[in-house]
Amino acid sequence: MTETFGARLTRAVAARGPLCVGIDPHPGLLRDWGLSADVAGLERFALTCVEAFGGEVAAVKPQSAFFEAYGSLGVAVLERVIADLRAAGTLVVLDAKRGDIGSTMEAYAAAYLTEGSPLAADAVTLSPYLGFGSLDPALDAAARSGRGVFVLALTSNKEGADVQRATDASGRSVAQEIVDAAADRNAGADPLGDVGLVIGATVGRTDLDLAELNGPILAPGFGAQGATVADLRAVFGPSLPQVLPTSSRGVLRHGPDLATLRNAALRTRDDVLAAVAAG
């Protein structure tokens, strides 16, 4: 790729607005759509989403686990989803939350961040809780191939706070350490670095200093999980222009009708645009 992920994301958001729509083929959603909870239903669900969102929103985020649950045939559907979205010119953020060390991390990087891999997306979510440095093979692979990563920093699940908000002797939280490590990786990047963060839109007051991040923020929880436009402004403040809110079930519940599904995504995007414009 000739452009960095940060540059491509900036361009996509400028063209199509700041929204990432999730593809979460949960068995309950398959049933709500009148589909069977098997590979055939998975494929129909996922490809309907591709048709609805491809070329319409800045990014789409398939949740890898819901495809992996069906074994090799489910992973084959995921491969097609990634290929078809990228062919439509839509950025793909694969939500895999991988995190390991050494050669295992290198293998994950080869799978998700290396050109030629059938699972290679434009960006992948990573967990830094074996130490931020353990992510180096993935960060390096992303830099070489013009891809990006989103590193878990402050998540909305209640269990996460015990670790993420824990502080050291200086009072700096674990989440802030992750922010600072990402900022170091993004220093000097223009227009935006390739090492993003995941910060839940429902976390409330973060106490994070994001001023030097110079990277994107993926914010799940907008819509069905309860986060509103007001929450986006309250949680992210002056960093809101760097935020890519994610809505999954809040949009997906409008399926299976293709036009209704697409319109739900576009309405959600317009809500986010209004939030950014209002500051």
Query: Rounded to whole angstroms, how far apart are CA atoms 117 and 46?
Result: 20
* Integer CA distances (angstroms), 25 to 2, 128, 156, in order: 33, 26, 21
Active-site entry in 11, 26, 80, 97:
97
Give the Cβ contact number of residue 32 at 10 Å. 14
Question: What pLDDT shows up at residue 225?
Answer: 67
Amino acid symbol at 16: R
Question: What pLDDT shows up at residue 109?
Answer: 98
Residues 168-205: tens digit of each pLDDT: 999 999 999 999 999 999 999 999 999 999 999 988 88
Listed residue (173, 208, 196, 183) closest to 242, CA to CA: 196
**61 is annotated as an active-site residue:** no
Query: Rounded to whole angstroms, how far apart are CA atoms 147 and 276?
Result: 25
- Upper half-sphere CA count for residue 69 (Cβ side, 13 Å): 15
In CATH, the number for domain 5-278 is 3.20.20.70
Question: What pLDDT shows up at residue 274?
Answer: 83
Give the Cβ contact number of residue 58 at 10 Å. 24
Residues of the chain with pLDDT under 50: none
Phi, psi (deg, nearest 5) at residue 213: -60, -50
User: For the chain, how are helix, strand and coil distributed in percent, rounded to 5?
Assistant: 50, 15, 35
Which alpha helices (H) appear in the chain, and where do they start and end? 5-16, 27-32, 39-53, 64-68, 71-87, 102-113, 136-145, 161-164, 174-186, 229-236, 249-252, 258-278
Residues 99-112: tens digit of each pLDDT: 999 999 999 999 99
CA torsion sign for 261, 50, 93, 189 is negative
Listed residue (194, 199, 185) closest to 152, CA to CA: 199
Domain ranges of the chain: 5-278
DSSP per-residue string spanning 26-53: -HHHHHHTT--SSHHHHHHHHHHHHHHH
| Residue partners of 170: CB distance under 8 A and separation at least 6 | none
pTM of the model: 0.97
Following CA atoms 230, 234, 239, 242 in sequence, which dihedral angle do they give, to the nearest 10 degrees? -40
Question: What pLDDT shows up at residue 31?
Answer: 97
| Residue partners of 112: CB distance under 8 A and separation at least 6 | 94, 96, 98, 119, 120, 121, 124, 138
Rg (CA), the chain: 18
Query: Rounded to whole angstroms, how far apart are CA atoms 242 and 159?
Result: 26
Question: What pLDDT shows up at residue 279?
Answer: 64
